[in-house]
Every structure is written in structure tokens, then in C-alpha cells.
Structure 1
Amino acid sequence: MEAAIAWLVQTILATLLIDKLDAWIRQVGLADDVEKLKSEVERVEMVVGGVRGRGAGNKLLARSLARLKELLYDAEDVIDELDYYRLQQQWMIPKVCLQQSE
């Protein structure tokens, strides 16, 4: 479980570091929200590192880690949606310019 969470954390943080996505996030005014998300994801990484291996014998901790994994999947989905909207906007701008020039 901890390995899956660590992988999700790294995936989310790596996606947020993509220059084009980062620039777009700032352009559309979501920088503060994304920074908060990034901080929370880094905090999760730190906590999971501290409990590594303990979830197997502790049902409450195992449930908490499972819920945390679900929340990270949700966060990853949000980041993917942001990147989708960035790409959609990037694609629409040239198309609109072409239609206006016709």
C-alpha cells in the first residue's frame, strides 16, 4: 500500500512540474490552489514514509492508508483534468484564429 501511495505522490508532483502545465496554471489563476495541493501531497509523502511497514498489523492505519490512496487518485484525476483543459485551450486558440481569418 505504501509503495502505491509513494508512486502516486511522485506521479502527481512530476506532472505539476511540467513547465507548460505550470505556466498555464499560473495564467488561469490557479497557482495558489495548486501550491496548496502540492504542499498537501508532499506532507502525505512524509507521513507515509514515517509509517512504512506498519499498516500490515494495524487495521485502522491500513484503512487510513487506503483512504489516503483513494484521495491521491482523486488528486491525480484533477491534475489530469487541468492538463486536459490546458491542451484543449491550446488547441482551440489556433482554431479560433484560423476561423477569424477566413
Structure 2
Amino acid sequence: MVVVGVVVDAAIGWLVQGILGSLFTAPMEAWARDVGLAEDVENLESEMRIVEMVLAAVEGRRIDNKPLTRSLDDLKELLCDAEDVMDELD
């Protein structure tokens, strides 16, 4: 049996909060409305809240499920990419 043993850290939750904090400022929301992205931004916010909830549930836990570990790694990478995009937009 392969033991993956990945522990999800608080840094992922910090990334989610950083992205949400950058995305939902008054200037960013006004810009999204002006360019017709308001609905997309609302959908993104909803998805990010779900991600935040899932990550909070596994934070600090040992993960022995290899597919889940890969998915969480992919999610962490996606969040890092999203943070880079938000930095560029800002």
C-alpha cells in the first residue's frame, strides 16, 4: 500500500483569501461591471468559496488518497496561477 501522507497547509486558505480580497474590491467590481464580466465574477466568487470550504475541511490533515492528493496539488497550483492573474489585473 502506498502512503501519500500529504498534509494540507494553511497557505492554501491564505491564497484563497488573498484572491478573494483582490477580486472583490470596489474598483475591481466596477471594472468587471463596465466590461460585462459581473456575472462571471459572481460565479468565480461562488466557486472560490466552495474551494475555501473544501480546503478548510482538509487543512492540517494527513491525506492518504493519491488521487485526492493530486487534485489538491492541482488546486494549489491553480490558486497560485489565479493569484498571479489578480496581481496583473491589480
Q: TM-score w.r.t. structure 1 length? A: 0.69
Q: What is the aligned residue count?
A: 83
- Cα deviation, 1:26-57, whole Å, max 9, x if unaligned, reads 11111111111111111000011122233443
> Which of 58, 62, 72 is 1:65 aligned to?
72
> Which of 23, 26, 40 is 1:19 aligned to?
26
Q: Which runs of 4+ in 1 moved over 4 A?
A: none
Amino acid at match of 1:44: V
Structure label with greater radius of gyration: 1
Amino acid at match of 1:78: V
Instruction: Select the structure with the greater relative contact order (CA < 8 A; seq sep ≥ 6).
Output: 2
SS in 2 for 1:78: helix
Which one has a larger percent helix, Structure 1 or Structure 2? 1
Amino acid at match of 1:30: L
* Gap runs ≥5 in structure 1: 84-102
Matched residues in 2 for 1:36 and 1:81: separation? 20
> Which of 2, 15, 19 is 2:9 aligned to?
2
Amino acid at match of 1:74: D
Which one has a larger percent strand, Structure 1 or Structure 2? 2
* Gap runs ≥5 in structure 2: 1-7
Kindly report the root-mean-square deviation, in angstroms, between the aligned alpha carbons of the 2 structures.
1.8
Identity %: 60
